[in-house]
Amino acid sequence: MDNKTITNTGLNETNNKDSSSRQSQDNLKSVEDLYVKCFKPTVSFCSDGEFRVEVRGRIREGIKNALNLFSISDLKGDINKVREVIFQGRTFSVAAVIFLSWMLTNFLLDKASPFGIKKAADDYSEFIIDRIAAPFYGSEAQNEIVVVLINDNTLIKEGQAWPPHYDWYSRLLHRVLKNQPKAVFFDVQFNNYRADDKTLDKARKELEEDLARFKVPLILAQGADTSRKNVFGHIKGVELAPVEWSNFGRGYPLLLPASKSGEAQNDSCNPDQSIATPALRLYREACSADSSIGCVEPTNLLSGKALCRPLTPHWGRAVSKIMETKKLVRLSECDLINPTEADRFQSFVKSIFHTFISGFDDDIMEKTRQPCAYTVTVLAHDLTNFDKVHDVLKGKIVLIGSGLSAMHDLVLTPVHGQLPGVYLHAMALDNLMTYGRDYYSHNKGRVFDFILISMAMVVSWSIAVVLRAKPRFYQFGLRLFAVLLIVALSFVLYTQYHYPAVHWLSFLLLYELIIRVIQQERH
């Protein structure tokens, strides 16, 4: 009797515990609640096995509900809705309103650009995409172009004050020319005669002798005013190339009209009456032969009106293997040195991540910039070591520039931050050698504009169909469509047509227009 009572009592206690456990589990609203209820130190309502069973059940239920959203019957219903309205006159009317509103708004913004918002948005769009795409840029041209950089340490080691004497420049050129480069560009303007420097005649004589001996084309930088005489300009074998221009934004013009003192540069381009800028001059020297190393095509294919399209520089991030093997500069803080494809992809992913979190850290772009230049670089004071630099300079296109703190000749890049201005000419030359006639440019001609307008018409019509058919999740679908459109269009234009970043502001306006139409439909 006592045993039976004890047994019944045990059963009742077990039933009460099961009832309490079921009641507690009925109140669970999520897996997190289940975890807390089951494994809280002071209370244990269910075993580890019951917990796993419950989680699996809820996952299966979630998957089942998700699949039900995309059932075949519902999808057929959505397709039928689209078929009913796809070619109706009302649909084309809505599409016309969307298209005209979009084009008119963009036209007004392009012409008026209140507060410079469109230009700022376009520049930032290009900046971001160039930074993200930079790890994948690379070609044989990288090792065919060398920058010889004059910095503060150069003047200290050479015992020179600022500005250096004329004969120091001639000695520097001699050190470069004796390495037999293919061509040399000196990105320093010698337009101001200094009466206190008595070495000019000596420098002229030495330079003339070196050019006659080594027979290497020498191009010197010229200011916007071509009427100002360069102190070395009359020497046989010396050519001049303009390095100052305006009204081109981030573009790099290949040709500039000759202008005299007091005259502003105009936007007209006549290939027969214009002056070639350094990148084009050097490109003609680098790729004059059909089999030139690093050149995708000979220079004679880039001629006529094609020269009137300003080049949009496409910057690279990878550091040449030559920089590592020759130990030309310190690379301890640099990344992507002689990278593999996996390294490039990893850098690409990092760039995307840093772009997304830039709003939370104002200094993230500065922290993640590439401190080493893409172009092979030799410090000017290392030219005295002939064995170290000879193989680097021989047969190459050499650009000599200044990284002196007193010069402030800097260019802002999306990858490296600020760099000495000579690297802009080097990068433009690299782009020409890599792409030939198909270099990156905003000016792709009327055919390209027609393609973009046709695409805008198709997009407007697609949006009108969705708005009228109203399939399930159409509001989410339109938002997703706007985002995917920007990504897909940017990718195709950038990689296939070498068109710089699309104007994101235009597509954001389209997105806002969609939202307004949706809100109107709700009312």
Of 173-177, 239-243, 248-252, 477-481, the least confident: 477-481
Q: What is the pLDDT of residues 72-94, one digit of tens each?
A: 666 777 778 778 888 888 888 88
Examine residue 69 and state whether it is found in any structural domain, yes or no: no
Examine residue 120 and state whether it is found in any structural domain, yes or no: no
Examine residue 28 and state whether it is found in any structural domain, yes or no: yes
Beta-bridge partner residues of 420: 410
Q: Given the structure tokens 């007209």, which residue do they identify?
A: 268
Please state, in angstroms and rounded to a whole number, the distance separating the CA atoms of residues 257 and 131: 32
Beta-bridge partner residues of 376: 146
Token duo for residue 337: 């040195």
Average of per-residue pLDDT across 105-113: 71
Q: Is the pLDDT of residue 298 over 60?
A: yes
pTM of the model: 0.77
What is the b/e burial string over 288-306, where b = at least 16 CB atoms within 10 angstroms of the residue's CB? eeeebebbbbebeebeeeb
Q: Are residues 499 and 407 in the same domain?
A: no
Beta-bridge partner residues of 186: 220, 400
Q: Are residues 280 and 399 in the same domain?
A: yes
Q: Which of 438, 459, 480 is a domain's end point?
A: 438
Q: Given the structure tokens 């075993």, which residue do they identify?
A: 47
Q: Which of 438, 459, 493 is a domain's end point?
A: 438
Please state, in angstroms and rounded to a whole number, the distance separating the CA atoms of residues 239 and 217: 8
Average of per-residue pLDDT across 41-50: 51
Report the number of distinct structural domains present in the chain. Answer: 3
What is the b/e burial string over 401-427, where b = at least 16 CB atoms within 10 angstroms of the residue's CB? bbbbeebebebebbbbeebbbbbbbbb
CA angle centred on 516, ends 510 and 518, rounded to 5°: 105
Q: What is the pLDDT of residues 329-363, one digit of tens each?
A: 888 888 888 888 999 999 999 888 888 887 777 77
Q: Is the pLDDT of residue 27 over 70?
A: no
Q: Are residues 342 and 489 in the same domain?
A: no
Q: Are residues 259 and 300 in the same domain?
A: yes
What pLDDT, on a 0 to 100 scale, did the predictor assign at position 125? Answer: 79
Q: Which range of residues forms the domain containing residue 478? A: 81-112+444-522
Q: Are residues 392 and 499 in the same domain?
A: no
Q: Are residues 457 and 426 in the same domain?
A: no
Examine residue 75 and state whether it is found in any structural domain, yes or no: no
What pLDDT, on a 0 to 100 scale, did the predictor assign at position 416? Answer: 92
Is residue 154 very low, low, confident or very high in pLDDT (cuts 50, 70, 90)?
Answer: very high
Q: Are residues 388 and 501 in the same domain?
A: no
Average of per-residue pLDDT across 181-190: 94
Q: Are residues 261 and 234 in the same domain?
A: yes
Examine residue 74 and state whether it is found in any structural domain, yes or no: no
Examine residue 123 and state whether it is found in any structural domain, yes or no: no
Mean per-residue pLDDT of the chain:
80
What pLDDT, on a 0 to 100 scale, did the predictor assign at position 70? Answer: 59
Q: Is the pLDDT of residue 58 over 80?
A: no
Q: Are residues 290 and 377 in the same domain?
A: yes
Q: Are residues 448 and 432 in the same domain?
A: no
The residue that leads in pLDDT, 151 or 106, is: 151
Please state, in angstroms and rounded to a whole number, the distance separating the CA atoms of residues 213 and 151: 28
Q: Is the pLDDT of residue 493 over 80?
A: no
Q: Are residues 382 and 480 in the same domain?
A: no
Please state, in angstroms and rounded to a whole number, the distance separating the CA atoms of residues 243 and 280: 12
Is residue 14 very low, low, confident or very high in pLDDT (cuts 50, 70, 90)?
Answer: very low
Examine residue 164 and state whether it is found in any structural domain, yes or no: yes
What pLDDT, on a 0 to 100 scale, did the predictor assign at position 469? Answer: 79
Helix (H, G, I), strand (E, B) or coil at 144: helix
Q: What is the DSSP string of 187-225?
A: EEE--S--TT-TTHHHHHHHHHHHHHHH---EEEEE-S-
Q: Are residues 145 and 102 in the same domain?
A: no
Q: Which of 438, 472, 503 is a domain's end point?
A: 438
Examine residue 255 and state whether it is found in any structural domain, yes or no: yes
What pLDDT, on a 0 to 100 scale, did the predictor assign at position 105? Answer: 74
